[in-house]
């Protein structure tokens, strides 16, 4: 994780707004939802990730004396507000969908219920952490899916967008299904497998390729993957590798986890030719590993071409999610109340774009599974406190095209609430699992999707519906807002009229 104290890693407007609230004191408690609108790569789902880092961040929230000094130097903030910041810490509640869970657009991935000022400050860092890791975990799951059971290694550190993108990105990639990473720091911090062999420079630092291979094989006989494309894959690299494997065999060294890596050129052709050469020499079980600007689409194409590759190293396109470089998560106010009120007043943000109108109220998310297949039937965004009896029939409908309805028969489905408590009154009540545990969760989660929702292109979109109660609340609020606006508009026209 980044800088020991990243409390100042927030947008300036959060602080100017906070001072505004401080100067106009309210005891308002608000509900903010973090959610996203479109699945990465126009896919059929996303994997949420990054919660462990959000927890670390919230726990450590505090302004150091030099943070206060810096803020004072901006000549925007007054002493009483800065004094308030000095004692600032988080006192609210946070609910979140556990890492590794399959999620869909418009569902609250994280829900913050806190005094307005606190909820506001944490917006950028919370979104940053969730957006980044959810993006990479989702992308990794797509790459892993394309490889149809072959192992995917993450090794994009050198191309990642900064140190955290390399280290936390590798964490997310492992959650999404990568079997390991080249990044040793990620291995240390998150107890995930680290892997790697040698680079072109290893070969180039020896008088010739054969000597380089022999030296490497002697050092690491149990993980002898030889990089064969420094000079010429088929004329030099593969023949030299075979020679070294023969020498190992002749010397009675058991050949396990051995093979070659091809890092450039026509991977389909080269892998097939290399396999033929290896197989003819009695090394048909050698690992043939490939790397070189791979992504899920290219791996899919290589598989279709019958490339003889059984291990994949994926760098740049995974660690930066090239072509779809942001998750697009947003953080929107959904409800507000005074401290001593019992009920929240729902809030809505209108937009010219129907899809961008937010879901109001203090909400939760239910997942409905088919009991026969174990697959997801639909998700239901509902109001906090609603419950659904799976023994009863349940009719759900598309919140935009409301005529699209489905009735789930009682007894045929099960219900699971996705959001779990993470902070209560500022105290963490959740224990983050180890990353390799989250990877297992994620694998099980992906199994609850139909294959049609995992397709790389034009996948089936899982239904995310609203409960009747939430739908009615939204509709009513929408109508009230429109009315209010019209009145305001008329009032403003009247006032303009008067001035003329």
Helix (H, G, I), strand (E, B) or coil at 186: helix
* 320 scored as a contact of a second copy (CB under 8 A): yes
List binders of a second copy among 426-485 (CB under 8 A).
481, 484-485
Return the H-helix or E-strand segment holding 413.
strand 413-417
The binder of a second copy chosen from 25, 201, 304, 340 (CB under 8 A): 201
Q: Is the CB of 350 or the CB of 415 nearer to a second copy?
A: 350
- Site residues (CB under 8 A) for a second copy, limited to 351-380: 351-353, 356
Q: Of the listed pieces 143-151, 181-189, 296-304, 449-457, which binds a second copy according to CB under 8 A? A: 181-189
Q: How far apart are CA 252 and CA 384, in angstroms?
A: 67
Query: Contact region for a second copy (CB under 8 A) — 98-106, 185-193, 386-394, 415-423?
Result: 185-193
- Written as six digits, the tokens of 488 are 């305001």
Which residue carries 């902070």 as its tokens? Answer: 423
Q: Is 155 in the site for a second copy (CB under 8 A)?
A: yes
- Residue 12 CA to residue 388 CA, distance in Å, equals 42
Residue bearing tokens 């630092």: 205
In this complex, which beta carbon is closest to a second copy, that of residue 184 or of residue 427?
184
Tokens (6 digits) for 203 = 């070969």
273 binds a second copy (CB under 8 A): no
Would you count residue 284 as binding a second copy (CB under 8 A)? no
CB of 17 to a second copy, least distance (A): 5
Tracing tokens 């992906």 back to the chain, one arrives at: 446
Q: From the list 59, 200, 272, 443, which residue makes contact with a second copy (rule: CB under 8 A)?
A: 200
11 in contact with a second copy (CB under 8 A):
yes
Given CA atoms 481, 483, 484, 490 in this order, what sign does their dihedral have? positive
Rule CB under 8 A: is residue 208 a binding residue for a second copy?
yes
Give the count of beta carbons closer than 10 Å to the beta carbon of residue 372. Answer: 8
Q: Please choose, out of 93-101, 296-304, 370-378, 489-497, the segment that lies near a second copy by the rule CB under 8 A.
A: 489-497
Half-sphere exposure of 357 (CA within 13 A, CB side): 16
Q: Considering only residues 127, 224, 228, 260, which one is a binding residue for a second copy as defined by CB under 8 A?
A: 127
CA dist., res. 58 & res. 51, Å (int): 10
Residues paired with 363 in a beta bridge: 383
321 binding a second copy? (CB under 8 A): yes
| C-alpha span between 383 and 362 (Å, rounded) | 6
Q: Which stretch binds a second copy (CB under 8 A): 153-161, 386-394, 406-414, 442-450?
A: 153-161
Minimum CB distance to a second copy smaller for 93 or for 209: 209
Does the protein bind a second copy through residue 60 (CB under 8 A)?
Answer: no
> Counting contacts by CB under 8 A, is residue 397 touching a second copy?
no
**DSSP label of 237:** I
- Among residues 363, 425, 368, the alpha carbon closest in space to that of 396 is found at 368
Residue whose CB is less far from a second copy, 10 or 138: 10
Among 60, 264, 412, 428, the residue binding a second copy under the rule CB under 8 A is 264
Q: How far is the CB of 215 from a second copy (least distance, A)?
A: 6
Beta strand segments in 193-341, E: 225-227, 259-262, 287-290, 311-314, 330-338
Instruction: In angstroms, give the least distance from the CB of 359 to a second copy.
Output: 14
Q: Report the residue number, 451 or 485, with the smaller CB distance to a second copy.
A: 485
Binding mask 67-96 for a second copy (x = CB under 8 A): x--xx--x-x--------------------
**Where does residue 66 rank: exposed (0-12), middle (13-18), buried (19+ CB within 10 A)?**
exposed
Identify which range of 16-24, 99-107, 140-148, 385-393 contacts a second copy by CB under 8 A. 16-24
Residue 445's alpha-carbon distances to 44, 177, 192, 375, in angstroms, are 13, 12, 20, 9
Candidate ranges 89-97, 103-111, 345-353, 408-416; the one touching a second copy (CB under 8 A): 345-353
251 touches a second copy by CB under 8 A = no
Q: Which is nearer to a second copy, 258 or 331 (CB)?
A: 331
- Quick one: which of 170, 181, 163 has its CA closest to 137? 170
Size of the site for a second copy (CB under 8 A): 124
CA distance 23 to 20: 5
Q: Quick one: DSSP state of residue 462? A: P
Q: Supply φ then ψ for residue 386, to 5 degrees.
A: -70, 150
For the CA atoms of the chain, what is the radius of gyration? 27
Compute the distance between CA of residue 38 and CA of residue 327 in angstroms, rounded to an integer: 8
Please identify which residue in 54, 143, 160, 446 interacts with a second copy, judged by CB under 8 A: 160
In the range 97-116, which residues lie near a second copy by CB under 8 A? Answer: 116
Using CB under 8 A, pick the residue from 165, 192, 298, 449 that binds a second copy.
165
Q: Rounded to an integer, what distance in angstroms lies between the CA atom of residue 370 and that of residue 376?
A: 6
Residue 243 as a binder of a second copy (CB under 8 A): the answer is: yes
Q: How far is the CB of 156 from a second copy (least distance, A)?
A: 8
């Amino acid at each position: 994780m980044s800088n020991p104290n990243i409390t100042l890693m927030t947008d300036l407007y959060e602080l100017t707004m906070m001072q505004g609230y401080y100067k106009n004191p309210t005891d308002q408690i608000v509900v903010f939802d973090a959610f996203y609108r479109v699945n990465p790569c126009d896919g059929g789902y996303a994997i949420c990730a990054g919660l462990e880092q959000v927890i670390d961040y919230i726990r450590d929230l505090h302004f150091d004396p030099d943070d206060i000094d810096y803020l004072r130097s901006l000549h925007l903030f007054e002493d009483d507000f800065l004094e308030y910041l000095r004692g600032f810490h988080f006192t609210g509640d946070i609910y979140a969908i556990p890492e590794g869970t399959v999620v869909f657009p418009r569902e609250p991935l994280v829900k913050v219920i806190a005094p307005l000022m606190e909820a506001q400050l944490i917006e950028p860092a919370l979104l940053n952490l969730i957006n980044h890791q959810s993006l990479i975990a989702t992308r990794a799951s797509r790459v892993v899916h394309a490889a149809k059971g072959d192992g995917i290694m993450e090794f994009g550190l050198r191309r990642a967008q900064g140190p955290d993108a390399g280290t936390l990105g590798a964490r997310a990639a492992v959650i999404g299904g990568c079997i390991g990473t080249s990044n040793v720091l990620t291995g240390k911090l998150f107890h995930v497998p680290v892997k790697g062999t040698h680079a072109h420079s290893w070969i180039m630092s020896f008088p010739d390729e054969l000597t380089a291979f022999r030296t490497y094989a002697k050092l690491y006989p149990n993980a002898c993957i030889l990089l064969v494309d420094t000079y010429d894959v088929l004329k030099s690299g593969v023949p030299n590798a075979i020679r070294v494997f023969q020498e190992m065999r002749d010397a009675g060294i058991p050949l396990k986890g051995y093979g070659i890596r091809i890092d450039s050129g026509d991977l389909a052709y080269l892998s097939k030719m290399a396999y033929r050469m290896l197989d003819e020499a009695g090394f048909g079980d050698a690992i043939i590993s490939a790397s070189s600007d791979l992504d899920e689409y290219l791996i899919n194409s290589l598989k279709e071409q019958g490339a003889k590759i059984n291990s994949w190293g994926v760098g740049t396109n995974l660690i930066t999610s090239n072509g779809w470089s942001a998750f697009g998560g947003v953080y929107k106010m959904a409800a507000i109340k005074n401290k001593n009120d019992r009920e929240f007043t729902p809030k809505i943000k209108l937009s010219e774009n129907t899809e961008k109108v937010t879901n109001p109220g203090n909400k939760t998310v239910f997942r409905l599974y088919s009991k026969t297949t174990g697959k997801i039937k639909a998700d239901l965004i509902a109001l906090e406190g609603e419950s659904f009896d799976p023994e009863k029939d349940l009719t759900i409908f598309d919140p935009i095209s409301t005529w699209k309805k489905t009735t789930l028969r009682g007894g045929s489905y099960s219900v699971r609430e996705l959001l779990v408590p993470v902070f209560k009154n500022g105290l963490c009540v959740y224990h983050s699992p180890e990353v390799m545990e989250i990877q297992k969760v994620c694998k099980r989660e992906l199994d609850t999707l139909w294959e049609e929702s995992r397709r790389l292109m034009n996948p089936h979109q899982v239904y995310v519906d609203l409960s009747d109660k939430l739908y009615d609340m939204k509709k009513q609020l929408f109508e009230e807002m429109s009315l209010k606006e019209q009145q305001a508009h008329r009032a403003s026209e009247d006032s303009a009229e008067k001035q003329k």
